[in-house]
Structure 1
Amino acid sequence: MTIPLAEIDEARITIIIDNNIDFLIPSTGVVRRFEQPSDWYNRPLPRAEHGFSALISLKRNGNEGTVLLDTGASADGVQHNFEALEIDIARIQAIILSHGHFDHAMGLARIVDKIGNQNLKIVLHPDVYLQRKAVFPNGKEVPVSIPPEMSIRREDVEIVENTGPMTLLDGSLLVSGEIPRTTDFEKGFPIHYAKREDVWQHDPLIMDDQCIILRVKGKGLVIVTGCGHAGIINTIRYAQELTGVSQVYALIGGFHLTGGLFEKIIPATIAELEKISPRYIMPGHCTGWSAVHRISEALPDAFITSSVGTTLIL
């Protein structure tokens, strides 16, 4: 199945929440970095947290559209960073949740209130509502779901539940929906569990994981992931399959390669990334120190350091 995805003239991806922030990285080429103001002591500064949020703006035939992918790990982080970065949030037309983990959704309620747009859409997979936990080999259990007291369903916005691919912004932006698992090394999150019908079940695949896909005229696909639980190579392959476009122009977001559970698949992932050869690659959030540095070594001309406040102009 191929989804018609309109070509856009320009995409701007701004990192609102990420695990890393660096005020001293210079702007280069397509990368615009946050510049610390001279009066920084009199104003709020953006901050990092273990989470992800990206503002995605596009231009097509003189028209503009803007969505927000994910809303970070804290109740106020996204709102704080929008204010610190002096970004107008009133133009946000939709919020897309990449999946139902706390570090991608905790800022949702506050930012929806702040936007105050009666036409706002929230796009999510129905599994977002599930209770989730990670069960470590030592028996320790850590909740990773969105807290049940934080209501996602609201009367003042339109909730759009999707399991399959869907387009937004007049066919200019594609939300992948569930991503098929096709590689032999991306096996999901082995210590992950979800509660279905009051029964905890092993849930390594996290099927609600989805990405955003854009197609920049004459350049190729821009793929933005929240955590990449589906596997970053599975995600890229599905984006190529959905659109019928093989060229990957930019790859941005979390690749979930951090920690001992994923260390062993870093070489296979990098080998495939080298074959795909994206023009730009900016791994962040849960990609992890080891994977980020090995990607930077394998793809030095494409690699961009992720940092809160960074904007890619593509």
Structure 2
Amino acid sequence: MKITTLVDNSRLDDRQDLAVERGLSLHIETESLNILFDMGGGNTFCQNAPLLGVNIERVDIAVISHRHHDHCNGAVGFVSHNSKANVFLKDCEEKNYYFRAYGFKNDVGINTDLLKGSNGRLVFVSQTTEIAPNVFAITDISTKHEKPKGNRYLYTRSQNGWESDTFDHELLLVIKERDGLVIFTGCAHSGVLNMVDTAVSYFPGERIKAVVGGFHLVGLPLFDSIGGTKQDIKDLGLALLQYPIDKLYTGHCTGKKAYGLLKEVLGERLEAIPTGSCINV
């Protein structure tokens, strides 16, 4: 499996030709499929794709991890560049999504034009589904472990008023290959430990070749603060060491400070995936 980072908050130092944005988009090439996992907040991933040898027109299926703009709003451009792929996302009540902190409020939700104008390309998943052979969109995510503390700044607004975001719009992507699993987390608002636990429960005894995506360990993104304490992040790293995971690849909402703390614990098992990264799993 080859995974190419089309969009992340940062880029490889030697790829100044690539654009960046605060978002995430990964192209996944398996033996039989081209998969797009998340699409950033705009058209940036489409601009970067040809520079990275990725043909967006050849994508077979696309998956949206959750309904925050920096992961899904690029789908508006995707359906115009690709004429065949369905876009899978979790079915949930329609709400507005916001970041709120210290009197500041910002809409971070999905572009509703996407929901209305996708010409039937959106597929709403209400239960765990094998969306392609050995490609699983998992909707029921464990709640055994605490969710990221940075979630406390994220809210929904519906006819019931303001509520803390429960992330009932988040799903987990797992691809099963002959030699093990690859887990894709998006932002892991449900908690990366909960996501790994979920994959282990669905596929007991399977080797986990890699966990890929954001872990949402950032607190206030503007200041790259960490959600929680330094010890919380190190404890997370120690907990991840208890699972049969070969490698963890992360970026985006993990945050640079939290990444550094995790790196102290996980060492070579942890790598960053800035824009332009290509990894073979």
2:96 counterpart of 1:131:
yes
Determine the structure 1 residue equivalent to 2:198: 238
Aligned partner letter, 2:20 = A
Instruction: Tell me how far apart the structure 2 counterparts of residues 307 and 192 of structure 1 sit (CA, whole Å).
Output: 24
2:183 counterpart of 1:193:
no
Partner-residue secondary structure (3-state), 2:234 = helix
Partner-residue secondary structure (3-state), 2:253 = helix
Give the structure, 1 or 2, with the largest relative contact order (CA under 8 Å, sep 6 or more): 1
Q: Give runs of ≥4 in structure 1 deviating > 6 Å.
A: none
- Provide, for residues 188-217 of structure 1, a one-character-per-residue CA deviation record: whole Å limited to 9, x for no partner: 712322123x23231332121112112232
1:69 deviates by 0.9
Which one has the bigger helix percentage?
2
2:123 counterpart of 1:160:
yes
Contact 1:132-1:144 at 8 Å conserved across structures: yes
- Root-mean-square deviation (Å): 2.1
2:25 counterpart of 1:53:
yes
Normalised TM-score (structure 2): 0.89
Partner-residue secondary structure (3-state), 2:202 = helix
Instruction: Tell me how far apart the structure 1 counterparts of residues 4 and 89 of structure 2 sit (CA, whole Å).
Output: 21
Instruction: Tell me how far apart the structure 1 counterparts of residues 69 and 27 of structure 2 sit (CA, whole Å).
Output: 18
Aligned partner letter, 1:22 = L
Contact 2:142-2:197 at 8 Å conserved across structures: no
Instruction: Tell me how far apart the structure 1 counterparts of residues 177 and 264 of structure 2 sit (CA, whole Å).
Output: 26
Partner-residue secondary structure (3-state), 1:286 = helix
Structure 1 residues 199-238: aligned runs within 5 Å: 199-218=160-179, 220-238=180-198
Structure 1 residues 1-314: aligned runs within 5 Å: 11-24=1-14, 45-59=17-31, 64-73=32-41, 75-117=42-84, 120-127=85-92, 129-136=94-101, 138-148=102-112, 150-154=113-117, 156-170=119-133, 172-184=134-146, 186=148, 189-196=151-158, 198-218=159-179, 220-259=180-219, 260=225, 262-264=227-229, 265-314=232-281
Contact 1:131-1:195 at 8 Å conserved across structures: yes
Aligned length, in residue pairs: 274
1:144 deviates by 0.9
1:105 deviates by 1.3
Instruction: Tell me how far apart the structure 1 counterparts of residues 245 and 235 of structure 2 sit (CA, whole Å).
Output: 16
Larger Rg: 1
Contact 1:101-1:128 at 8 Å conserved across structures: no
Aligned partner letter, 1:217 = R
Instruction: Tell me how far apart the structure 2 counterparts of residues 194 and 276 of structure 1 sit (CA, whole Å).
Output: 33
Contact 2:12-2:276 at 8 Å conserved across structures: no
Name the CA shift for 1:311/1:128 in 2 (closer, same or farther; >3 Å).
farther
* Structure 2: unaligned runs, 5 residues or longer: 220-224
Contact 2:146-2:191 at 8 Å conserved across structures: no
Contact 2:52-2:276 at 8 Å conserved across structures: yes
Instruction: Tell me how far apart the structure 2 counterparts of residues 81 and 127 of structure 1 sit (CA, whole Å).
Output: 31
1:173 deviates by 0.8
1:261 deviates by 6.2
Name the CA shift for 1:282/1:155 in 2 (closer, same or farther; >3 Å).
closer
Aligned partner letter, 1:140 = F
Normalised TM-score (structure 1): 0.81
Contact 1:122-1:157 at 8 Å conserved across structures: no
Contact 2:90-2:169 at 8 Å conserved across structures: yes
